[in-house]
Structure 1
Amino acid sequence: MTTDTFPPLRNDLILRAARGEATERAPVWVMRQAGRYLPEFREVRKDHEFFEVCRTPALATKITLQPIQRYTGLVDASIIFSDILVIPQAMGMEVLMNPGPQFPDPLVTPADVSKLREVVNVQKELGYVFDAITQTRNELKGEVPLIGFCGAPWTLFAYMIEGGGSKTLQKAKTWLFKYPEESKALLLRIADVCVDFLVGQVKAGAQLLQVFDSWAGELSPHDFSIFSYPTLLHISTSVRRRLAAENLHSTPIILFAKGANHALGFLAKNAGYDVLGLDWMIDPAEARRVVGDSVALQGNMDPNVLYGGKDAIEAAVKRMSEGFREGKGGWIANLGHGITPGVDPEDLRWFFECIHKYSHQS
């Protein structure tokens, strides 16, 4: 598939920022922007189970478009409605959403890896995501670019072993320390599926990619370098090589390694990503100082500021904008993690409006 197949893009602000170009203002989107804080999303979910929505391209497209339609002219990217846990499903695991993720049969010991599919046919198992991307890209009519994504291997590995969310990740970390070689082998298997999935998303129409390492901050710097970083590098290098081999346009890739601010400088120099996402635990000016001008940055307002009222939101956006303007390099405005379900959609609108007001390059 070629880009000529789709309607021409009318807003390339986020693509330019992702490539490190100076932009007239910061492009803005938020993680989980197609989600439970929107009444129109909750209306769809009344009649459809979560993964049913993910697996039904028409429904995934409808939900992906909801924030674009609600915030027309204010948001600069869409992100396909899906979930990071579709990869464990593709590998043969059952995942439920009640309301958080549950694995009825998690991996307990390395012997359980034999339950996973030896070979994952991503087109067969996850073709519904590709179909949703193609449909969404057409229905966006070029208004904004479409982001595809996957979970990072360490984060997916942890879910597959913990059986759901966890405050300590004791089970997953037991694997790392008790079965280090088996852990590395499983992490690489997951990474290979991630590569196939991301390449497939670009072929289907995704214009940017994001890798979510949501639990990166649960690893010590040493363990991050041993267990997470090698797979993150494998993904970036393999995706770029595969896209080049198929004569597909270079696609910017964002890495959001939440909590791993200790690694920002190293990742900027070595991991091969165009953009590094930031959580709210680092000052933007400090992040820019650490990474230099080699990568663009994305982030990073604390999502809970959205509960603080208009004055708090405006003050936080103004302060964030001033921090990101220090130094050179692209900046994509975002929250420091996903938006939470209780946010008033009008407070998010105000966040977008404040970004438009304060993020202009001086």
Structure 2
Amino acid sequence: MSFPPLKNDLLLRAARGEKTERAPVWVMRQAGRYLPEFREVRKSHEFFDICRTPSLACEITLQPIRRYTGLLDAAIIFSDILVVPQAMGMEVLMNPGPEFPDPLVTPADVAKLREKVDVDKELGYVFKALTETRIALAGEVPLIGFSGAPWTLFVYMIEGGGSKSFQKVKTWIFKYPEESKALIMRIADVCIDYLVGQLLQVFDSSAGELSPYDFDIFSRPSLEYIARSVRQKLGADAVPMTLFAKGANYALASLAQSSGYDTLGLDWLVDPLEARKAVQEKVALQGNMDPNVLYGGRDAIEAAVKRMCAGFAANGGTRAWIANLGHGITPGVDPEDLRWFFECVHKYSART
């Protein structure tokens, strides 16, 4: 299928390491609960029903593109990282956060998962949404697809939802390390088949719960396996790949060296200049304003964006940067304050 020619390739050029006339900008979870138009759709549709209905997923993906015309440099498909555990045979509810009624308690429970996952069958609705949305975008901006990282998905499948203590999943990795590694790589195989049809971002939102030693055992191998395998399937010059390993800033240098990703996302707990020193010239960077600054008013937003832009431009800004938040936007943000964030990025990241 042929798609409309891309009119704005700023994000793609930055992700490939090119210096750009200004920083491309988008935000994680930009299609979602902070928008009144999303909440209107949500009144009559269950969350995962929207994910599974390509026309609805397309509509919600387009909502911020319409609202912020000319300010956004990418759309990200409306979906959820937990569609992968669903494809593997697990039930996931949204009440309002994610809930697994029947999580994995011991390695014996792995037998409840589908032995072989037909991704086209189980997740074909996402591919249809991607196709429909690319047509509807008419080339205005690139469309990002994404997956959760195997470690992060493993956490949800064991914990049964969000967790503050991570007691259950830590019990697994320390009590059943070989079974844990085997399941994480099994999840990775599903992620690979899922990702090959998308412009890619991998979210490892729970990376920061692992020590550097445990990150190298339980997360890094699956992340590198995904990058290597996707490139083998799509070709070395396929769409750029981004990894966001939240909280694992200790691993920036080594991930830049050998992970296989073109861009590394940053949370707000690392200084842009220090991040650039760590990764040197090997990858592009993405991030990293604290999402909660968006509650601080326009003066605070402008000051934070100005600092962020200066940090990424330090030493001549010798490598590309994609402006973003350091994690997903939260539901209570005023959409007009997000508009101001975009406008400030355009102003302060422009190269003269």
Does residue 242 (structure 1) correspond to residue 230 (structure 2)? The answer is no
CA distance in 1, matches of 2:168, 2:264: 28
SS in 2 for 1:332: strand
Q: 1:269 aligns with which of 226, 247, 257?
A: 257
Paired residues in the alignment total 350
Q: Counterpart in 2 of 1:251?
A: 239
Q: 1:131 aligns with which of 128, 133, 138?
A: 128
Q: Counterpart in 2 of 1:291?
A: 279
CA deviation map 1:244-271 (0-9, x unaligned): 2xxx951100000000000000000010
Identity of aligned residues (%): 77
Q: TM-score, normalised by structure 1?
A: 0.96
Q: Counterpart in 2 of 1:94?
A: 91
Does residue 310 (structure 1) correspond to residue 298 (structure 2)? The answer is yes
CA distance in 1, matches of 2:215, 2:63: 36
Query: Are 1:88 and 1:156, in contact at CA under 8 Å, matched by a contact in 2?
Result: yes
SS in 2 for 1:31: coil
CA distance in 2, matches of 1:296, 1:249: 16
- Matched residue type, 1:303: P
Q: Counterpart in 2 of 1:358?
A: 348
Query: Are 1:217 and 1:260, in contact at CA under 8 Å, matched by a contact in 2?
Result: yes
CA distance in 2, matches of 1:105, 1:128: 24
Q: How does 1:125-204 map to 2 (within 5 A)?
A: 125-199=122-196, 201-202=197-198
Q: 2:212 aligns with which of 217, 221, 246?
A: 221
The runs of at least 4 aligned residues of structure 1 exceeding 3 Å deviation read none
- Matched residue type, 1:240: R
1:14 deviates by: 0.2
- Matched residue type, 1:221: P
1:361 deviates by: 2.3
Q: 1:278 aligns with which of 258, 266, 281?
A: 266
1:360 deviates by: 1.3
CA distance in 2, matches of 1:226, 1:333: 31
Gapped regions of structure 1 (runs ≥ 5): 203-207
CA deviation map 1:255-295 (0-9, x unaligned): 00000000000000010000000000000011001110110
CA distance in 2, matches of 1:137, 1:322: 34
Q: 2:330 aligns with which of 321, 340, 347?
A: 340
Q: Counterpart in 2 of 1:323?
A: 311
1:73 deviates by: 0.1
CA distance in 2, matches of 1:114, 1:257: 29
CA distance in 2, matches of 1:227, 1:340: 29
SS in 2 for 1:256: strand
CA deviation map 1:204-234 (0-9, x unaligned): xxxx210000000000000000100000000
CA distance in 2, matches of 1:126, 1:40: 26
Q: Counterpart in 2 of 1:205?
A: none
SS in 1 for 2:219: helix
1:168 deviates by: 1.3
- Matched residue type, 1:55: R
Q: TM-score, normalised by structure 2?
A: 0.99
SS in 2 for 1:300: strand
CA distance in 1, matches of 2:127, 2:113: 22
CA distance in 1, matches of 2:261, 2:291: 24
Q: How does 1:19-30 map to 2 (within 5 A)?
A: 19-30=16-27
Q: 1:70 aligns with which of 59, 67, 82?
A: 67
CA distance in 1, matches of 2:60, 2:74: 14
